[in-house]
Amino acid sequence: MKTSTESEKGHGKAEEMQEIAKLAHSYAEGRRIGPFLVYWVVFILLCAAIGLPSHFAGGAYLAGNMVGFWLCIAALVLAVGAAVWFAVRGDRWMERTAERLYGREGRATVAVPQTRRNKKWFTVALVLFLGCIIASVILDLPTEYMQPISAIYTVPFLVFLVAWNRREIGLGMLLWPGLYAAHAILIVAGAPIRFSGEWESLNMLIPIAGYGLLLGLIGYAVNRLTLRKLKKLTRVDPAGGPANGEGN
């Protein structure tokens, strides 16, 4: 029988081992933050591709420019089609992105819950969200309150998006809709954080894309630190390796 000291020699403390399991889990959970960031940038571009033709279609219709109007509608249909394709096929694309980003360090995954595989709810939420964007552009809502009004449908969508991807990006990303809501409240309260003039449309794009990217980048950095810590803890002392025989 081994003594406690012998048992722990080269094996680390039990707490260290528990830490290894936690770090491995945390690393595997956070591994999709990188591809999620890329995914999010593409998503924002798609939103812009939907929002801009919607905006110009309204103007063209009011000006009686039917050619311009139908061109905008065609662009809108293409953009919505691309968004739906991305919602359905985006998972495989994200997997390939993950392979490119993390190829050198191998792969560790956590189990994906059954609800995560059900894309139906994501597609429904995405269509509703895109519908709200189109409606808010067509209804020509007051521009000074564009961001606070958008928060009414954006915050629930972001909460859903984070909850739906919680195993991949973690619930810490709920800060994202939180910041977006706080931004809306500050605007309503009259804080000087509003874009005006020709940059007015940025009032919505900057908070939604900016806060998401900021938190995603922080999450990615945390994931890198987790891996570094995991490697430090799991590094096997060569003297305890199988080459030296013990227990092999």
State the residues that interact with other proteins by CB under 8 A.
1-5, 7, 10-12, 14, 17, 20-25, 28, 99, 104-111, 227, 230-231, 234-237, 240-243, 246-248
CA within 13 Å, CB half, 85: 9
Smaller CB separation from other proteins, 140 or 246: 246
Whole-angstrom Cα distance, residue 70 to residue 76? 9
Which C-beta is closer to other proteins: that of 131 or that of 240? 240
Q: Which is nearer to other proteins, 22 or 89 (CB)?
A: 22
Q: Nearer to other proteins by C-beta: 99 or 140?
A: 99
Q: Which is nearer to other proteins, 173 or 227 (CB)?
A: 227
Which whole-number Å values give the CA distances from 228 to 21, 22, 169, 185, 240, in the listed order?
Answer: 14, 14, 18, 39, 21
CB of 22 to other proteins, least distance (A): 6
Contact 180, 158 (CB under 8 A): yes
**Least Cβ distance, residue 97 to other proteins (angstroms):** 14
Q: How far is the CB of 21 from other proteins (least distance, A)?
A: 4
**CB of residue 235 to other proteins, shortest distance in Å:** 6
3-state secondary structure 176-232: HHHHHHHHHHHHHCCCCCCCCHHHCCHHHHHHHHHHHHHHHHHHHHHHHHHHHHHHH
Nearby residues of 192 by Cβ (< 8 Å), 6 or more positions away: none
- 164's tokens: 């739906």
**C-beta neighbour count of 149 within 10 angstroms:** 19
Considering beta carbons, is residue 108 or 141 the nearer one to other proteins?
108
| Cα dihedral value 68, 71, 75, 81, nearest 10 | 140
Please state the closest distance from residue 35 (CB atom) to other proteins, in A: 16
